[in-house]
Amino acid sequence: MRRKALQNSLEHCSASVQRVVKKRGLLDRAKLPLGVPALRKLVRAAGLGCSAENAVGVNVRGLGDSAKCNVVRDALNSASPSLVCIQETKLRVLDNFKAKTFLPQRLAGSYLVSSSSGSRGGMLTAWDPQLFHPTFHLSSCISRRHTLTTILSATDSEQIISLTNVYAPADHRDSPEFLEDLHELLDHIQGA
């Protein structure tokens, strides 16, 4: 994450969040990117009511083969992530039955999918519903060619968590479109 962008976004946060971030010096270091421990502290400081132990992002290069699905599921079970962002599923259609072949059981019911285009792309974002329940629920999503944004909203406040799964184009000729999509997301994404 870009530290300056986070610092600028603090102006929209409550005074109490701003005080905690400043007191703990969460955004003071010049080191980029923002590390997982600092991000966890920031989430706690914002009072989001969740404690994500870890997240996994992986380019699986296709999930059509059952043996590969088993390997992915075993790796995810070992990592025990709370959030998973998978790129390049190469799946045009993904139903619950197929999701259970590569996702751990606790993640197999809470996911969003962006279908592949032929043998390219395809993304999946999955989350542990117990991590966010009962405080947060899926409120919307934005699916673009190279991004899948999941938006979770609090049921008891105005807090929002936005998570964008990115599958950058391999062909640099697609970079302008990719960057434009990212820029357009700024108008639609709120929250931590």
Domains of the chain: 1-47 (no CATH), 48-185 (3.60.10.10)
Q: Are strands 123-127 and 83-87 parallel, antiparallel or unpaired?
A: antiparallel
Strand partners, 83: 55, 127
- Report how far residue 35's alpha carbon sits from residue 16's, in angstroms, rounded to the nearest whole number: 22
**Measured in Å, how far apart are the chain's first and last C-alpha atoms?**
11
Which of the residues in the chain have pLDDT under 70? Answer: 1-17, 20, 24, 26-53, 132-134, 190-192
High-pLDDT (> 90) share of the chain, %: 18
Closest by CA position to 17, among listed 36, 42, 37, 40: 42
pLDDT at 113: 92
pLDDT at 118: 76
pTM for the full predicted model = 0.69
* DSSP symbol at 56: E
pLDDT at 16: 65
pLDDT at 32: 47
Q: For 163-175, give the DSSP string.
A: EEEE---SSGGGH
Q: Tokens in use for 118?
A: 């032929």
- Report how far residue 50's alpha carbon sits from residue 34's, in angstroms, rounded to the nearest whole number: 19
